Amino acid sequence: MIAYLLEEIGLSLKDLDYFYVAGAFGTHLNLTSAITVGMYPDLDHDKIICHENTSLKVAYKKKYYKIIIIST
């Protein structure tokens, strides 16, 4: 799923420094399982940052670049 979305915008997994996950996806899914079924990109676990409730304001405030946020 993520690889497809990245391809649609001209990026690949190599272009991601970190992958941020927000909402229920950030707190209730098993990280390894989500990677296995393709929901999350196949990155090192320390590069996948899971947060509970967030907004794009946080990303812009901290000046994160090349981010994808999945929110519920």
Strands (E), the chain: 19-21, 48-50, 69-70
Give pLDDT tens digits for 31-72.
899 889 888 888 899 998 887 666 665 656 655 555 555 554
**C-alpha–C-alpha distance, residues 55 and 1, integer Å:** 22
The pair of three-digit structure tokens given for residue 15, joined into one six-digit string? 């272009």
Whole-model pTM over 0.75: no
